Structure 1
Amino acid sequence: MKASRRFAGAVLAVLAAVVIPAWAETPGEPAATATPGLTISGAGATFPAPLYQRWILDYREVRPDLTFTYDAKGSGEGVKRFLAGTVDFGASDAALSDAELKQVDPQRGALMIPMTAGMVVLAYNIPGVAEGLVLSREVYVDIFAGRIRQWNDPRISAANPGLTLPAKAIVPVVRRDSSGTTFVMTNHLAHVDPGWSQQGPGVGKLVDWPGAAMTASGNAGVAQRVKITDGSIGYMEYEFAERLGLPIAILHNKAGQPIIPSPAAGQAALASVTEIPADLRVFVPDPEGSDAYPIVSYSWLLLNARYAEPAKAAALKDALAWGLDQGQLVARDMGYVPLPAAMIAKASEVLARVE
Structure 2
Amino acid sequence: MKKILTLGAALVMTAASAATLTGAGASFPYPLYSKMFAEYKKATGDDVNYQSVGSGAGQKQILERTVDFAGSDNPMNDDSLKSAPGKLLHIPTAIGAVVPAYNVPGVDGRLNFTGKVLADIYLGKIRLWNDAQIAKINPGVKLPTLPITVARRSDGSGTTYVFADYLAKVSSEWKSKVGVANSLQWPVGIGGKGNDGVAGIVKSTPGSIGYVELVYAKQNKLTFGAVQNRAGKYIVADNGPAALAAQGVVIPADTRVSLTNSANADAYPIASFTYVIFYQDQKYGNRTEAQAKELRDLLSWMVSSGQQYNEPLDYAKLPANVAAKAKNIIKSINYGGKKL
| TM-score in same-fold range (> 0.5) | yes
Q: How does 1:120-135 map to 2 (within 5 A)?
A: 120-135=98-113
Q: Does the 8 A contact of 2:95 with 2:243 survive in 1?
A: no
Displacement of 1:35 in angstroms is 4.3
Q: 1:298 aligns with which of 273, 295, 305?
A: 273
> Residue 270 of structure 1: SS of its match in structure 2?
coil
Matched to 1:276, the amino acid is I
Structure 2: stretches of 5+ with no match in the other structure: 1-14, 335-340
Q: How much does 1:36 deviate?
A: 4.8
Say which is worse superposed, 71-80 or 122-131, in terms of deviation. 122-131
Given candidates 22, 28, 45, the residue that maps to 2:26 is 45
The question of whether the paired residues in 2 share the 8 Å contact of 1:131 and 1:248 is answered with no
1:204 to 181, 199, 207: 181
CA–CA distance in structure 2, aligned partners of residues 158 and 300 of structure 1: 38
Shift in Å at residue 131 of structure 1? 2.4
The equivalent residue for 2:338 is none
Equivalent-residue separation in structure 1 for 2:242 and 2:76 (angstroms): 23
How many Å apart are 1:172 and its aligned residue?
1.1
Residues 93, 274 of structure 2: 8 Å contact kept: yes
The residue type paired with residue 132 of structure 1 is: R
* Structure 1 CA distance for aligned equivalents of residues 264 and 69 of structure 2: 34
- C-alpha distance in 1, partners of 2:243/2:95? 9
Matched, 1:264 2:240: yes
Q: Is 1:173 paired with 2:151?
A: yes
Q: In 2, distance between residues paired with 1:74 and 1:282?
A: 19
Residue 261 of structure 1: how far off its partner (Å): 0.8
Note if contact 1:123-1:249 (Cα within 8 Å) is conserved in structure 2. Answer: yes
What SS does structure 1 have at the residue aligned with 2:217?
helix
Matches within 5 A, 1:285-324: 285-308=260-283, 309-324=288-303
| Residue 350 (str. 1) matches residue 329 (str. 2) | yes
Q: Report if the CA contact (8 A) 2:27-2:52 is conserved.
A: yes
C-alpha distance after superposition, 1:114-167 (max 9, x if no partner): 111100000000001232211122211111111111000111112112321100
User: Deviations 1:46-71 (Å, cap 9, x if unpaired)?
Assistant: 0001111111110112111x221111
Q: Give TM-score, length-normalised by structure 1.
A: 0.87
- Contact 2:68/2:295 (<8 A) preserved: no
The partner residue of 1:82 within 62, 84, 109 is: 62
- Residues in 2 aligned to 1:310 and 1:36: alpha-carbon distance in whole angstroms: 15
Q: Is the 8 A contact 1:130 1:247 kept in 2?
A: no
Conserved? CA contact 2:245–2:260, under 8 Å: no
1:182 pairs with 2:160 = yes
Aligned equivalents of 1:153, 1:220: Cα separation in 2 = 28
Structure 2 partner of 1:277: 252
Distance 1:128 1:121 in 2: 20
Listed one character per residue, the Cα deviations across residues 69-99 of structure 1 (whole Å, up to 9, x for unaligned) are 1111000000000000111111111111111
Question: Are 1:72 and 2:52 matched, yes or no?
Answer: yes
Paired position in structure 1 for 2:4:
none
Three-state SS of the structure 1 residue aligned to 2:178 is coil
Paired AA for residue 148 in structure 2:
I
The ranges of structure 1 where at least 4 consecutive aligned residues each deviate by more than 6 angstroms after the TM superposition are none
Matched, 1:101 2:77: no
Q: What per-residue deviation string (whole Å, max 9, x for no partner) do you get for residues 160-216 of structure 1? A: 123211000011100000000001111110000122121x211100101113x1110
Query: 1:125-274, aligned counterparts within 5 Å?
Result: 125-198=103-176, 200-211=177-188, 213-273=189-249
Percent of aligned pairs with the same amino acid? 38
2-structure distance, mates of 1:208, 1:36: 48
CA distance in 1 between partners of 2:57 and 2:246 (Å):
26
Q: Runs of 5+ in structure 1 lacking a partner? A: 1-33
Letter in 2 for 1:255: A
In the superposition, the TM-score normalised over structure 2's length comes to 0.90
Distance 1:280 1:135 in 2: 30
AA aligned opposite 1:316: L
SS in 2 for 1:299: strand
| 8 Å Cα contact 2:296/2:330 also seen in 1 | yes
Judge conservation of contact 2:26–2:58 (CA < 8 Å) in 1: yes
SS in 1 for 2:43: coil
In structure 2, the residue matched to 1:22 is: none
Larger strand fraction of residues? 2
